[in-house]
Copies of this chain bind each other. A is one copy, B any other.
Amino acid sequence: MAKPVGIREVAEAAGVSVTTVSHALNGKGRLPLETRTRVRAVAADLGYTPRIAARNLGGGRSGLIGLFMSEAEGLPSTLSGNNYFTELLGAATGAALEHGYALVLATAANSQSEPWRRWALDGAIVVDPVRGDPVLTALREADMPLVTTGRPTDGIETYWVDNDIVAGTRSMLDHLARRGARRIALIDSAPIRSVGLDLREAYAAFCADTAMAPMIAEAAWDLSEHAGFDAALQLLERADPPDAIYTSYDRLALGVLLAADASGLSVPRDLLVAGCTDSVAARMSSPSLTVLTLNPTDVGTRAVELLVALLEERPAPEHEYVATGIISRGSTRRSSRRGRNLPAVGLAEQLGELAAEAG
């Protein structure tokens, strides 16, 4: 067990003082370039890594970014079965490490213990904050540098990275209309995040523009297939049922597919279905599901980079939008001649998409 190499060892090896080493490595002080490079070389040679804990003690940076999953009371874990969040998390982790930071995971459930206190986080990312999220206000009060994905809905001003949900929703509704839909219904849960509010806003605007009567069914908060199923049945049993359903989450849309099946309706012949957020399940359902992807990878990366820029006091945009995109699949395909849903069609498409991904 060799003694871990600290700044002292570097100083000794380079024949200078610890001060000089610190200055050389951090670009502070007034040192001739020669000394700077020499010290750096020695440090690298010895495999020196500053201990963040020590640096942090003196008021410096901890190199830790908290990633908070905002959760509402009684909701299941954001993470569970949530492809959007998973992708976002993976991208954020990579981006953080790339900039010399590490991601610390935290949930609202344990926010009472105030992790930012214990671990002296440099900054925090709150993913899709729900209305009245105590974590968000607590972080704000603690003056924690803060970036949210999705906008806070409480009038709290933060830096954020968001999708242009209004535009994206509009494009999806247009997509459905182009495919022949005349009565498009919306399924979502009670809006407690900015994404939900934007969705309703866009839907209302679309209805106004096209003189279409709004049809909204509210899904249970757990956002499961079950919730989508129930909400869809509610819509399909109306006297004037919709001919297309758009949902705010892909798992809801998968439930809609089941409900259509149960109601003896064929998708896409009798009913067009589309969801928001992409996932393996959306690709593999039958028929495969047309979705509005929110590009969670980009959202996660941009959020981290925005926060890091903030921390390092580089100029950064207060707000940033990430593009959405429509992935058109079987559930909104124009009906085939034979009027039935050909599995083979879905198959070819699925494999085509997979190949495109691989390539």
Q: Which residues of A contact B (CB under 8 A)?
A: 1, 49-54, 56-57, 62-64, 77, 79-83, 86-87, 89-90, 93-94, 97-98, 100, 102-107, 109-110, 113-115, 117-120, 143, 222, 224-226, 229, 251, 254, 257-258, 261-262, 279-281, 283-286, 343-344, 347, 350-351, 354-355, 357-358
A284 pairs with B224, CB closer than 8 A: no
Name the residue of chain B whose CB is nearest to the CB of A264.
B344
A120 pairs with B355, CB closer than 8 A: no
Could you tell me the distance between the alpha carbons of A262 and B349 in the complex, rounded to whole angstroms? Answer: 12
Could you tell me the distance between the alpha carbons of A262 and B351 in the complex, rounded to whole angstroms? Answer: 11
A63 pairs with B118, CB closer than 8 A: yes
Given contacts A225-B354, A281-B281, whether A262 and B347 have CB atoms under 8 Å apart is: yes
B284 pairs with A225, CB closer than 8 A: yes
Could you tell me the distance between the alpha carbons of A49 and B116 in the complex, rounded to whole angstroms? Answer: 10
Counting every copy of the chain, the complex holds 2
A119 CB contacts on chain B under 8 angstroms: 52-53, 63-64, 102
Q: How near does chain B come to A355, taking the closest CB pair, in angstroms?
A: 7
Supply 13 further A-B pairs (C-beta < 8 A) apart from A103-B104, A225-B283, A281-B283: A49-B114, A51-B117, A51-B118, A53-B119, A80-B90, A93-B105, A105-B105, A225-B284, A225-B350, A226-B358, A251-B280, A280-B280, A284-B285
**Pairs across A and B, CB under 8 Å, 24 listed:** A49-B117, A52-B118, A52-B120, A53-B53, A53-B54, A53-B57, A57-B57, A77-B94, A79-B90, A80-B87, A81-B279, A89-B89, A97-B107, A102-B104, A224-B354, A224-B358, A226-B358, A254-B284, A257-B284, A258-B347, A258-B351, A261-B343, A279-B281, A281-B284
Could you tell me the distance between the alpha carbons of A100 and B117 in the complex, rounded to whole angstroms? Answer: 12
A262 CB contacts on chain B under 8 angstroms: 344, 347
* Interface SS of chain A: helix
Q: How near does chain B come to A284, taking the closest CB pair, in angstroms?
A: 5
A115 CB contacts on chain B under 8 angstroms: 97, 102
Name the residue of chain B whose CB is nearest to the CB of A48.
B117
B79 pairs with A350, CB closer than 8 A: no
Could you tell me the distance between the alpha carbons of A110 and B343 in the complex, rounded to whole angstroms? Answer: 43
Could you tell me the distance between the alpha carbons of A50 and B120 in the complex, rounded to whole angstroms? Answer: 10
Q: How near does chain B come to A342, taking the closest CB pair, in angstroms?
A: 10
Name the residue of chain B whose CB is nearest to the CB of A287.
B286
Given contacts A90-B80, A251-B280, A280-B281, whether A102 and B105 have CB atoms under 8 Å apart is: yes
Could you tell me the distance between the alpha carbons of A351 and B232 in the complex, rounded to whole angstroms? Answer: 14
A94 CB contacts on chain B under 8 angstroms: 77, 107, 109-110
Could you tell me the distance between the alpha carbons of A109 and B110 in the complex, rounded to whole angstroms? Answer: 30
